[in-house]
Structure 1
């Protein structure tokens, strides 16, 4: 799924939860809906769903830091994962809250690679069932991204599932907030973090064609 006419710069929206019944795809849809109206023509968004990759626990002899090219991985799946991630110029990580931190499936997928992530622009959207002040996974994952010198915005958007109508959200394909003001604040935080991504991608921002 890609948005934007010219894929000069590609940003992957990474769904990291792999459990049945996850909210990740709905969160991804909410983010894309927030950004699509002001998406520059020279930027595309593509969903990358870790669940579809079925990456086993990382247990290879390969040391990703030492691997500079996809074909040098000893595992075919790692080679394909390397090519996928290496094809993107930036990332939006969807970080679900599991036991006070990020999902193990995200760290596992991240650890397969090094140079494919290193130094690129990224933003995090942390979501979970607790109030936003009790969501810590995004901050923890920020520390991981910083180790690879990834370019991060100062804003870390958070979404509390507790602010939503769970029945309507579960029944449909979208996030349904109880209060419009809460939804607007979340969208504002996502848009502001996205502006930093665009600056780090060195693109012009909102395209007149999409304004």
Structure 2
């Protein structure tokens, strides 16, 4: 499936919490995927990544007068922050959503960022990586339902990172260093690396 055209993947950090570990986990997932691509036995498409931190994007609460599903290009939005967001998402070919679980669901800021757009997401493949006390599977299922309603082609496989012990959970809640290392076979969540790769491989299937 090699191709000269770069396959542009957005790794979406789905939390804007003041104290958070989302960027660490997104970096961990990013490194797992990059390692898998480097070790691929046969040539695959050229992949580039855009790490999209919703905290840096800093969208306001949805304030567009129009209905995104009826807007076909960035120029159709009323506000420059939406036009910029539209252009960034439209430039991507696929998405890896990295999201915490909050009260059995995914963060409001992620839902808000999704709701600003429609066609920019539609028709593209995506995978979900959730994390939480028990892995965040409930939030992943809710996010899956929302994405499918927006015509995103979500992989059947998803990944849930569960906090392995109370000390690790405390570090997560306090935004401390977690010691994540995609190359460490004995590090946190080392056993889940194969799940990330499996979901990633599914995402790469043409016209999945």
Sort the TM-score into its range (normalised by shorter chain). Answer: 0.7 to 0.9
Is 2:193 the counterpart of 1:193?
no
- Between stretches 155-164 and 189-198, larger displacement belongs to 155-164
| Structure 1 unpaired stretches of 5+ | 1-5, 203-211
1:19 and 1:193 map into 2 onto residues whose CA distance is: 26
Is 2:28 the counterpart of 1:30?
yes
In the TM superposition, 1:1-211 aligns within 5 A as 8-39=6-37, 40=44, 42-128=46-132, 130-132=133-135, 135-163=137-165, 166=168, 171-172=176-177, 174-175=179-180, 180=186, 183-200=189-206
1:142 and 1:120 map into 2 onto residues whose CA distance is: 13
Tell me how large the CA RMSD over aligned residues is: 2.5
2:33 and 2:166 map into 1 onto residues whose CA distance is: 20
1:75 and 1:158 map into 2 onto residues whose CA distance is: 36
Match of 1:3 in 2: none
- Between stretches 183-192 and 63-72, larger displacement belongs to 183-192
Count of matched residue pairs: 194
Question: Does the Cα contact within 8 Å between 2:179 and 2:187 map onto a contact in 1?
Answer: no
Deviating 4+ runs (over 2 angstroms):
38-41, 161-176, 179-185
What is the deviation of 1:36?
Answer: 1.0
1:36 and 1:165 map into 2 onto residues whose CA distance is: 29
Q: Report SS of the residue matched to 1:180.
A: coil
Which digits, 9 at most, give the CA deviation of each residue in 1:18-53, with x for residues without a partner? Answer: 012211001111101111123256111210000001
Which digits, 9 at most, give the CA deviation of each residue in 1:145-194, with x for residues without a partner? Answer: 11122222221100012448527775436437xx9397233111110000
Which digits, 9 at most, give the CA deviation of each residue in 1:59-118, with x for residues without a partner? Answer: 321110011110111110000000000000000001210111000000000000000000
Match of 1:209 in 2: none
Q: Report SS of the residue matched to 1:32.
A: helix
